[in-house]
A and B are shown apart, each in its own frame.
Chain A
Amino acid sequence: MKNGYFSFILHAHLPYVRHREANRLEERWVFEAMTETYIPLLWVLQEQEQPACFGISFSPPVLEMLSDPVVQRRYVHYLENTEELIRKEKSLNPSGMIADIVRFYEKRYKKIRETFYQWGQNLINGFKHYEAEGKIECFTTAATHAFLPYIQTKEALRAQIVHGILTFEKHFGKRPAGFWLPECAYTPGVDKILFEEGIRYTFVDEHTLKNGSPKPDREVGAPVYSSHGIVLFPRCEAISQEVWSSITGYPGDFDYREFYRDIVYDRDWEYIKPHVHPEGFRTDSGLKYHRITGPTEEKAYYVREWAENKAKIHAEDFIQTIEERLEKKKEECYPPHLITSPFDAELFGHWWFEGPDFLSSVLEKGRGRIEFITPSEYINRHYRDLETIHAAFSTWGRDGYGDVWLNEKNAWMYRHLHKCEREIISTVARYSTQEPLRKRYIQQMIREWMLASSSDWAFIVDNDSATAYAINRFTEHIERFHKIYEQLKSNRISSSFIVEYEKDYPFLETIDTTIFQTSHDHYIKQHYKNLNSDTEKMNIAMLSWEFPPMVVGGLGRHVFDLAKQLVKLGANVYVITSDVEGYPTHEINEGIHVYRVKGLQPQNENFFHWVGSLNLAMMDQVRNLAKLIPFDCIHAHDWLVSVAAKGLKQELSIPLIATIHATEHGRNNGIHDPLQFEINQKEWELMFEADEIIVCSNHMKNELCEVFQVPENKVTILPNGVDPELFKPEAIHDYKYKQHGETLVFSVGRMVKEKGFQTIIEAAHLLKNEQDTIKFVIAGKGPLLEHYRRAVHEQQLSDIVHFIGYVSDEERNRLLAECDIALFPSHYEPFGIVALEGMIAGKATVVSETGGLKDIVKHEETGLTIYPNDPASLASAVLRLAREPGLRKKLALSGKHVAKNVFNWERIAKKTLKLMEQNTQKNNHVGSGV
């Protein structure tokens, strides 16, 4: 006996070709496999006395068909028909070689019938029996033999694996230790699920181990553990070649039976007609009288003795080849060298008629010369000695990878399979599987997906044989899947509908739908359980590119304050804004659901396209949220969200409210370059799409109506509010910025031209020579900051004007508290929320008479107004207030009063909500009384 092992593995698989109607051509695949492979394999096992002959995998379709009473009954008819033909052949009184052949078939079919009945018409019983005797080890494969690496989702992968195991358990009464990977197709991650489902081993191709990381010491002489702990047995290429090769392989021997020469093609039509397909075309009878003979069309008759003898010679040759190989590796121990040789079972008998005889002979001749071993037995002996590697994607197909199952001919299939996978996950997430009828619908969807995902269809299409059947079957299951799904979604489900689908393909009685329940979906369902009560509420999708902590201008602040008040009024607000490094992608802030999203090119240097990218991401976010949240309206802020706003309005068919905070035209006093033009277009489109437009001032309304020709009745003026909470005057004990005797003038804003800080510098020249000590402190950053600082320095105004750059909110509040005058000299200001902040802080406020500012401050009543871009006007207003503390106090008091009551977020939010209600016909009673 040689030191080392030989492990012979068979894989029995056919696609599920059991049809409801009889006489489907493809059903004969099963009958032929039974007659020529499965039954002869049982004979092999019957003859053998030694244990652990080989391992055999049965695919779930094979198990389901062999145990199906309908298939069994039809098989009896199939046998009867062949037996009848044999009788007819015999009655022709053949002589010589033909007589021998007819006698051979007569005897053989008698034995076939006996074996079929011996195991109660269910051949699985036979294999079960021999497994119990320890002669073979049985295991299984994926539910419908799907090409596992081309499954899209983890859930579907698990479903294929689990249902394979469950089907095996149903027929064999125990769980398998092994699992055949369809097409030996391995990819990292498959082993994880196999491991979790209790599988110990599987089979891969030789190069899977040869290309391992790291390379295993034994190369292919021993199995290895995959990174998740599955034992991978490598197929020995050289030994397989002995059998497989079309040039040197055994099955091509001239003495062996010719596969393609069946007597149906040699007999007269009238004679053969009763034995072929009822629709009148010739189908193989299984009675083949010729041998391969040679490379000739003239085939000689089959001589059974010669063929049997050849099988023995080939078996001896095979054993010697194995012995030679083991001899070369005899030094290997811990573990001794192992040769693993897996084959498609149907090769033995069906394709190679004498295959089972060969196998029988190999087992007999090998006794005492080589040690046969099953995978489990090998693992039990040597599990401590195996290495672990990372194995990469690989198959036993052409070129070793995916080309057979993924090429120009069949690649179109995967889109549909993946769609099914995702729809099953969605369906399980959306519908309760508690309800039995609904559950049957979902189970049938899973069944249809499984049947469509069989690797056979892609294989057949690649092979260009029976292509029509494969494409039809694939298409049929995809279409059935969607018909069931449509029906389920329509909520008009009925038992009479689904029962027909179930009867058509009674594959897998029980299907576990929970595998498709993702933990995330489960969590969301639990977490949002009470959502239904929210349908009474107004659900708002609010789009704004900025939101705290990202506050570039006043917009972010505005959206936050408005959203906060809307939540207080009972609305559900979902703010979709841009991602900020270090901030959560989702948070609930003051009751507002905030989702921060990132475009696919978050560092796009082109701002306009960065915005486009962001909009696509916003759309995705809201579209996904809308699966759960019954949004009533979209509230979009400024052009930056125009694309998402329009897209969502169309997608969700709900009203769009747009708040226009500022316009490119206003900011630049016209449109001067291509970018400004594009932005201007986006503004125009947003206004056009919006059902309602909100602006903050009369000034803005006029601008929209004049520049954009927006109809007046579409525009509502709702001023911005201020949150008094944020500007609580703190008692000031020590001054940080203000010196004794000084008048401190505070201003804040982005360092851009339209904010008018240049005017302060110019006015400082006029004030420099006055006796009064006036100091300007200007906070904020922006592109012109350095320019201003330099101007102040060069013009020697450093004592008077201080550009202090960016300040925190606290620092800004402190400055507001310390100062005597708040000054906002903007040239363009759509609203001017900063002015309101000055007023709330209780300071005399000076603003330019422009834009929204002039709606906020009434000259001499709630503050002072100055001419925009007029240093003299600015200087005189500041000087006047510096010299008249009484006036300062009076203006501050009335200013604060107006800011608190008129520019009040609660009031503004109520009006906003009312506007939304008018557009959605949703009355949640909040807005009443406004």
Chain B
Amino acid sequence: MINEIVKLKEEGLTLQQIAEKMNTTVGKVQYRWNKYRLKMNHSAKLAELPERENDQKEELHENFEWTIPPEYNEDDLFSMVHSPTAIFAYWSLSDSKRHMVEHHFRTPWQSLPKRLKVYDVTDIEFHGHNSHRSFEIELPEMTNNWFIRGLEPNRSYCVDLGTKTFDGSFFTILRSNTIETPRIEADSLQAEKVLNWKSGNVAEPEWLENFCSYSYYQKIR
């Protein structure tokens, strides 16, 4: 297995692509690959540094390994505009949060149905229940991204990752940023907002700008 992975990797494929090609899981491929890299790297480093102390070799061994993972161990759901009728969302869930969801439902993660819920939140301050409309997408297992198509131009969307409760309702685990699909024809809907901003009548523009305000201590006041 490892020989084929190395070969494909040298061809420039990502672990995810290799997994698809070999018809196996990313986890398995990554495990093999990491093991291989560790082995190769370790022997290379040891060979390079014959005169160094053992503990330094150890140090190199510890610090120099890092392989691009299929996803990160963190809570993240981010959506991006693809076109007037499609958006893209990718996500990852931290181990802790996954455990919490398992705990809340007293059900193992693999037995919980995975869903995306897409909300039309145009011109509203969305709090989880007040969208213009929404629909759900059933996700296959081991999925961490999705293209959501068939949307409408010039609307604001936001996506939840969640599961289905025993009574059939949607339970939100993560929520994405809100994004706006572009117009496909001119209108005058923004004219007044632009005027307000231009003439200094408002402190902040009243339209959506698709960039996030992230800060490290985000939730600390």
Contacts and interface: CB of A to CB of B under 8 A. Distances in A.
Contact of A492 (B13, B63, B183, B198): B63
Contact of B96 (A421, A606, A612, A651): A651
A389 to B, nearest CB: 7
B84 A153 contact: no
Given A401-B83, A609-B171, A620-B75, A214 B190 contact: yes
B172 A392 contact: no
B215 interface: yes
Of B67, B160, B183, B213, chain A has the most CB atoms within 10 Å of the CB of B183
Contacts of B145: 411-412, 415
Nearest to A520: B215
Given A402-B81, A602-B128, A681-B106, A211 B100 contact: no
A188 B208 CA distance: 7
B82 interface: yes
A154 B68 contact: no
A394 interface: yes
Contacts of A585: 221
Interface in B74-110: 75-76, 78, 80-84, 88, 90, 92, 96-97, 99-101, 103-106
Contacts of A402: 80-83
Interface stretch (A324-332, A623-631, A901-909): A623-631
A471 B13 contact: yes
Contacts of B154: 392
B209 A189 contact: yes
- Size range of the interface on B? 35 or more
Contacts of B185: 211
Interface string A514-552: 000010110011001000000000000000000000000
Given A471-B12, A475-B14, A479-B68, A227 B208 contact: no
B129 interface: yes
B91 to A, nearest CB: 9
B210 A188 contact: yes
Contacts of B125: none
Nearest to A618: B100
Interface string A466-501: 011111100100110011001100101000000000
B156 to A, nearest CB: 12
Contact of A188 (B184, B209, B215): B209
B83 A399 contact: yes
B147 to A, nearest CB: 7
Contact of A401 (B62, B72, B84): B84
Contact of A606 (B63, B90, B165, B194): B165
Contacts of B190: 213-214, 227, 389-390
Contact of A412 (B16, B198, B219): B16
What class of interface size applies to chain A in its complex with B?
35 or more
Contacts of A468: 11-12
B172 to A, nearest CB: 4
B31 interface: no
A192 B96 CA distance: 38
A612 B220 contact: no
B167 A606 contact: yes
Task: Determine the main DSSP class of B at the interface with A.
Answer: loop
Interface in B181-203: 181-191, 193-194, 197-198
Contacts of A600: 128, 160, 172-175
Contact of B182 (A211, A227, A479): A211
Contacts, number: 252
Nearest to A225: B198
A416 B70 CA distance: 9
Given A390-B194, A646-B100, A647-B96, A601 B216 contact: no
Interface string A613-625: 1011001110111
A79 B221 CA distance: 61
Contacts of A389: 190, 194
Contact of B212 (A154, A229, A394, A482): A154
A619 B100 contact: yes
Contacts of B12: 467-472
A628 B67 contact: no
Interface stretch (A42-50, A425-433, A862-870): A425-433
A644 interface: yes
Contacts of B120: none
Interface in A569-616: 585-586, 595, 598-603, 606, 609, 612-613, 615-616
Interface of B: 11-14, 16, 59, 62-64, 66-68, 71-72, 75-76, 78, 80-84, 88, 90, 92, 96-97, 99-101, 103-106, 127-129, 145, 147, 154, 160, 165, 167, 169, 171-175, 180-191, 193-194, 197-198, 205, 207-221
Question: What 6 pairs across the A-B complex have the smallest Cβ distances?
Answer: A468-B12, A189-B209, A215-B186, A390-B190, A429-B216, A392-B182
